[in-house]
Structure 1
Amino acid sequence: MTHALIEGWDTPFGLPPFAAISDEDFGPAIDAGMEVGRARIAEIAGNPEPATFANTIEALEGASAGLDRALSVFFVVSGADSTDAREALMREVSPKLSAFASEIYANRALFDRIEALWTAKDDLNLTPEQARLLYLTRRGFVRAGAELEGYAAERLRDVKSRLSVLGTSFTQNLLADERAWRMELDEPELEGLPDFVVANARATGEALGAGGPVVTLSRSLIVPFLQFSPRRDLRKRAWEAWAARGANGGDTDNREIARETLELRAERADLLGYDSFADYKLETEMAGTPAAVKDLLTRVWEPARAQALADEVRLTAMMHGDGETGPLEPWDWRYYSEKRRKEDHDLDEAELKPYLQLERMIEAAFACANRLFGLEFAPLEVELYHPDARAWEVTRDGRHMAVFIGDYFARGSKRSGAWCTVFRSQQKLAGEVRPHVVNVCNFAKPGAGAPALLSYDDARTLFHEFGHALHQILSDVTYESISGTSVARDFVELPSQLYEHWLEVPEVLAEFATHAETGEPMPQEMLERLLAASTYDMGFQTVEYVASALVDLAFHEGEPPGDPMQMQAELLDEMGMPHAIGMRHATPQFAHVFAGDGYSCGYYSYMWSEVMDADAFAAFQEAGGPFDPETAAKLEKFVLSAGGSEEASVLYEKFRGRMPGPEALLKGRGLLDAA
């Protein structure tokens, strides 16, 4: 199977033959893939013919195809179904892959060929997509240090290698802490919890071989427990364990990893001639500069904080009314906020949840994609990497568009969070290649025979990740390097956050929000209450997010902190962080920032994209409704199918005619008045 992993396989839809792949196959396949890649790079760099777009840029596109094929399978299964062997191999291959990439970018003969094409670009008669790929290829080489020589080049290689090791360690430490903690509950400790929380705790305990119900650090378990448990002592124990992930001392502590990571990123930026890592990282994003990011975040912070502080007064009074003393604490907020939501909106999560069945929400996401883009989804009986994963063939007008895989349930072998990834990306250079797209979530798995029920936030997550999937499914470009989600980080969240809006369309909920036992649709008055409460507790949600984004920016904007935890505490104090709200991601568990470079100095991007997604959905409303066909066609043409074929701002302006301001975001979050 080693050779098949790098050379391909003959299977239905070209899906990986998971049943025939063992953990022992990955290491040799990755090593072989790098060797083949090195040989192809040497051929391209040493070609005696003058550089052309075909023999250099297009040749580079396929140079590491075998390695990419093996890695795509390995990375997906390592994140979604980790084993000791896979974790060990990840630690082994991370520095190897960093060194392999450094070899390519340091190949002076190869860079000279790229530079020759760049110098002659106006005479090459390139298509717009080819011109874009040439620009991005050259920029990638320069930003990777291709122009550096001597010590600077060697040091940059070592820095990147060490960063790859640190990112892997951070991820694995966090997963280890999440696996290690559990809180077993006896029957009296279940009192006051809704049936669905008890059922999920029992199912988790059974899966773990415990003697009874168990709460773990899976978000789908711990958040409902914090919302509903009347036992303040248990809420405190759960919250403190959740907040301590990555900071428990010992071998899995991430604090020193965070410090070294920030130090090395600053050195990397300095070697490349940038004032800070923030300047380096944001150069290629829509925001462009740290100042632009800070401006957006601070414009949102003040009204959000004002709303949160007003809410804190109300919640504290409710807590004191229960006979509790002292200030509202982080383990109290969700509990009293849930009680207040029931008071203010007559909305009870326990009453709502039976109407949000996982199966029906999947159907809803598919149905919206059908009405908007004509996509159809048919279940596939194929072998996948885990029994919980499921697959569908995606077609349009009879044409195969993609294979979509959904892996929805939490398990100890899966890292926390939710994400979209691919086994294969869309491209046309190697023939008509359609993508294999994977959505991974962490919803609580029900007991045998019981339906999986989602919170409204879970349902929103499902729609969010499916928005990313549509960006891959509808991609229609020639080159894999710019297909699908290969766009600026602060643009990549636009399709996903925009798609969340369709969950809030009343006719969608009216059709698909049906009761798990009776099959009856959600009552109209409940639907109205749900939508009326869509911005409920938005002060809390915005504060916990923006605090994390501002800390991320500050970490990378100046000199690296000697003690990131101290700097985090000082920043939160300066900002006036409400006592009873914790950062959404504190430093030792901030995987977006420290598990790799993807969202480093980029956590703000969700909010940057939200400015656009609020404005983009308004385009549908202005055009006559959420399923307006002309607006959907424009969205597909200029956003979902275009990948990174043009600058993100150009694509958005083609869709909308202009760039938006933050007013739509504040209005959508119910914070415009607070501003």
Structure 2
Amino acid sequence: MSKENNPLLQTFETPFQTAPFAVIEEAHFESAFAKAISLAQSEIDTITSNSQPATFANTIEALDRSGDQLSRISSIFFNLNSAETNDEIQRIAREVSPQLSKFGNDVTLNKELFARVKAVYDQRDELALDPEQLTLLEKQYKRFARNGANLAENKKERLREIDAKLAQLSLGFGENVLAATQEFELHLTNKDDLAGIPETALEAAAEEAKSRDKEGYVFTLDYPSYIPFMTYADNRELRETMSKAFGARAYQGKHSNQENVLEIANLRFERANLLGYKTHAHFVLEERMAMTPKKVRKFSEELLKKAKPAARKEFDELTDFAVEYLRDNHLEPIKELQKWDAAYFSEKLKKSHFNLDDELLKPYFKLENVIDGAFEVANRLYGLTFHKTDNIDTYHKDVMTYEVKNEDGSLNSIFYADFFPRKGKRNGAWMTSFKDQYIENGVNSRPHISIVCNFTKPTATKPSLLTFNEVTTLFHEFGHALHGMLANTTYRSLSGTSVFWDFVELPSQILENWCYEKEALELFARHYETDEVIPAEYIEKIKNAASFHQGLQTLRQLSFGMLDMSWHGIDPREIDDVKLHEMETFDQTDLYPDVESSCMSTAFAHIFQGGYSAGYYSYKWAEVLDADAFELFKEKGVFNREIASSFKDNVLSKGGTENPMLLYTRFRGSEPKIDALLKRAGLVA
């Protein structure tokens, strides 16, 4: 296919040069990748063949600008592979991933290029660089040094092989999880089996059944279907069926990820060793706030020490409550609490404590109102306004688009929002971008940002009503989006969310705090039928319930982070049984009996498919940052523009231009303390 009729290889003649989804076809991608890789390589060749001595401008800045078209094509394609995939896109992904990996290696293992980068790096003290320029230089030098530039030729070749193989294994891992998730369905036609399940969930299940040409109700392992079933279904045997199906995803059978897990862990370890690091975690954490596996373990153990007694107490209370509940309702007793009992009895206990449950709150959280609420919070904090538009192409009819404007009316960014589950879209929620922000030739090129979630779709009789957990999820991803939107850096590779991984969750997690504040909730929490503002007593209950089962929740998050470190912070070559290794790791954190057919690692996409390997601890790490930072907002006012401006100027707009601890202390006045998190979680008096 020629460049002339491949839209991916032309300048996008669209509003704001947004991705022209209306004219992009799957058949365009392979030739576009081939051409863009070739173009990026020629840009590298131009740098290396320059007869002039290496300078910051002709080498470091030129390198940052190179591969721009390849980056845009990659962002469009891989976002589709996550949010709107099919067999052909997955096939192309398997084809191009090794090519991209090879090109990345060709760059970082390019002797001439590294020599020029090193020449500039060696004279950095004489160059009078500003902090952002210095960070870019150090980042580029490390990109080479940390990825094999100093290796002997035979070791460079092995590094190439490992990276190509890892790219394929990661894709295969994700495909298996998606296939295993979509393969299962629970088809029910007996009304007795539906006892306890809320009407909204039943209506969605009926529509799911209809879409599959079936009578009755179909429940799936997609979160909007799975979570309500596990939380409310009275039928314990069916909860067990669903729980076991969810826990068994990609564990055994034709979609098993066991070999993928072992091979990924071993190849990452070998790669780290090749580069002179003890483990993959040592390699990763060198470029994180935490810095070392030892510090991550110490952090986790400190939290575990605080959380485990609270979790044990909560678990015992839940067990006693379940026994009493079953006895009082003349239901069959249980010997011990199982994983499929957790959400069900937890919700009932929470209701007995606070007289509060999701079904009571959902009418106040119509999706459109929550979106408007997030926009209003962003307006009050940062002066942004959001203008819905139909002039921007999308990859699916459900995707909404907005022009985001600054207070002076200038364009801030383009925002895409994709909220509903569908075939070909992976579970969960994430933020991504189709174009990064940067400044070139005096022009501030603005970003194109997207958030993707999986909320319950509107039905024939009801709009999309969110659980409170889904409300915080939307605010979380929108917090990431604001980090991208408010970016204001010169260089592409330092812009927006291009920060240390254990810092990237601060902007997202801090925004969740507004979901608990009366001043914010009253902006958007209105009953979808009566337009009544959420009652003050409900807000008080939401705040009081915020620390409910935080011991168990903290234990759960810690267990995921510890499992991650157990794969990446050791020599994994002796591990030959994925499940056994996992059980040994969970021994410190599991209060529920193990389920033989379940395995978390084989579906742990964050660390084996996403970018969280040796970094899952960062969720908890960022909670310390966000609790500490939000204390200042609470002290000065949650919509205090002075504090918001300081947060924007020192954190959100700076991207990865300086060390994150410097940015944070500039905003907060001191390094973060764990106290605010422990207090918020109710783990200390």
- TM-score between both structures, scaled by the size of structure 1: 0.97
- Note if 1:427 corresponds to 2:438: yes
Q: 1:352 is matched with which residue: 357, 361, 375?
A: 361
Q: 1:369 is matched with which residue: 373, 378, 384?
A: 378
How far 1:254 sits from its partner (Å)? 0.7
Q: What's the CA shift string for 1:625-653, capped at 9, x where partnerless? A: 10111110110001000000100111001
Structure 1 pair 346/654, CA: closer, same or farther in 2 (3 Å)? same
Count of aligned pairs = 669
State the alpha-carbon separation in 2 of the partners of residues 12 and 613 from structure 1: 36
Cross-structure match for 2:404: 394
Q: 1:532 is matched with which residue: 534, 541, 544?
A: 544
State the alpha-carbon separation in 2 of the partners of residues 297 and 650 from structure 1: 23
Cross-structure match for 1:618: 631
Cross-structure match for 2:329: none
Matches within 5 A, 1:210-249: 210-249=214-253
Q: What's the CA shift string for 1:554-608, capped at 9, x where partnerless? A: 22122113333211111222x1520258999910111111014x11010000111
State the alpha-carbon separation in 2 of the partners of residues 502 and 581 from structure 1: 37
SS at match of 2:438: coil
Cross-structure match for 1:438: 450
SS at match of 2:684: coil
- Note if 1:383 corresponds to 2:396: no
Structure 1 pair 498/585, CA: closer, same or farther in 2 (3 Å)? farther
- Note if 1:578 corresponds to 2:591: yes
Structure 1 pair 7/69, CA: closer, same or farther in 2 (3 Å)? farther
Cross-structure match for 1:491: 503
State the alpha-carbon separation in 1 of the partners of residues 138 and 501 from structure 2: 18
Cross-structure match for 1:454: 466
Cross-structure match for 1:196: 200
Matches within 5 A, 1:115-126: 115-126=118-129
How far 1:188 sits from its partner (Å)? 2.1
- Greater Cα offset, 656-665 or 560-569: 560-569
Q: Is the 8 A contact 1:178 1:217 kept in 2?
A: yes
Cross-structure match for 2:620: 607
Q: What's the CA shift string for 1:505-545, capped at 9, x where partnerless? A: 11221231111222111122122112211111212221211
Q: 1:207 is matched with which residue: 211, 221, 246?
A: 211
State the alpha-carbon separation in 1 of the partners of residues 23 and 445 from structure 2: 23
State the alpha-carbon separation in 2 of the partners of residues 539 and 207 from structure 1: 40
SS at match of 1:405: strand
Cross-structure match for 1:415: 426
Aligned-partner residue type, residue 246 of structure 1 = A
State the alpha-carbon separation in 2 of the partners of residues 433 and 510 from structure 1: 35
State the alpha-carbon separation in 2 of the partners of residues 155 and 26 from structure 1: 28
Cross-structure match for 1:140: 143
- Note if 1:513 corresponds to 2:522: no
Structure 1 pair 305/2, CA: closer, same or farther in 2 (3 Å)? farther
Q: What's the CA shift string for 1:390-443, capped at 9, x where partnerless? A: 011100120100011100111121111110000001001263210100000011
Cross-structure match for 1:64: 67
State the alpha-carbon separation in 2 of the partners of residues 649 and 127 from structure 1: 18
Q: Is the 8 A contact 1:152 1:271 kept in 2?
A: yes
SS at match of 1:193: coil
- Greater Cα offset, 127-136 or 462-471: 127-136
Cross-structure match for 1:16: 19
Structure 1 pair 576/436, CA: closer, same or farther in 2 (3 Å)? closer
Q: Is the 8 A contact 1:406 1:440 kept in 2?
A: yes
Q: What's the CA shift string for 1:8-50, capped at 9, x where partnerless? A: 2111111111110001011110111001111111111111111
Structure 1 pair 7/64, CA: closer, same or farther in 2 (3 Å)? farther
Structure 1 pair 224/580, CA: closer, same or farther in 2 (3 Å)? farther
State the alpha-carbon separation in 2 of the partners of residues 421 and 19 from structure 1: 20
Matches within 5 A, 1:471-490: 471-490=483-502
- Greater Cα offset, 452-461 or 301-310: 301-310
State the alpha-carbon separation in 2 of the partners of residues 410 and 505 from structure 1: 29
SS at match of 1:406: strand
Q: What's the CA shift string for 1:475-500, capped at 9, x where partnerless? A: 00110000000000000000000011
Aligned-partner residue type, residue 414 of structure 2 = V
Q: Is the 8 A contact 2:308 2:551 kept in 1?
A: yes
Aligned-partner residue type, residue 312 of structure 1 = F
State the alpha-carbon separation in 1 of the partners of residues 656 and 281 from structure 2: 22
How far 1:115 sits from its partner (Å)? 0.5
Q: What's the CA shift string for 1:44-81, capped at 9, x where partnerless? A: 11111111111111111222111112111111111111
Cross-structure match for 2:604: 590
Q: 1:106 is matched with which residue: 76, 87, 109?
A: 109
Q: Is the 8 A contact 1:446 1:452 kept in 2?
A: yes
Cross-structure match for 1:271: 274
Q: Unpaired segments of 5 or more residues in structure 1? A: none
Q: 2:581 is matched with which residue: 556, 567, 573?
A: 567
Aligned-partner residue type, residue 169 of structure 2 = L
State the alpha-carbon separation in 1 of the partners of residues 520 and 599 from structure 2: 32
Q: Unpaired segments of 5 or more residues in structure 2? A: 327-331
Matches within 5 A, 1:130-169: 130-169=133-172
SS at match of 2:413: strand
Q: Is the 8 A contact 2:495 2:654 kept in 1?
A: yes
Query: RMSD in angstroms over aligned alpha carbons?
Result: 1.6
State the alpha-carbon separation in 2 of the partners of residues 177 and 576 from structure 1: 27
SS at match of 1:626: coil
State the alpha-carbon separation in 1 of the partners of residues 294 and 214 from structure 2: 51
How far 1:666 sits from its partner (Å)? 1.3
Cross-structure match for 2:262: 259
How far 1:449 sits from its partner (Å)? 5.3
Q: Is the 8 A contact 2:194 2:234 kept in 1?
A: no
SS at match of 1:214: strand
SS at match of 1:490: coil
How far 1:128 sits from its partner (Å)? 2.1
State the alpha-carbon separation in 2 of the partners of residues 601 and 576 from structure 1: 18
State the alpha-carbon separation in 1 of the partners of residues 207 and 308 from structure 2: 38
How far 1:3 sits from its partner (Å)? 4.3
Cross-structure match for 1:77: 80
Aligned-partner residue type, residue 521 of structure 1 = V
SS at match of 1:448: coil
How far 1:139 sits from its partner (Å)? 0.6
Structure 1 residue ranges (4+ consecutive) displaced by more than 4 angstroms after TM superposition = 580-585
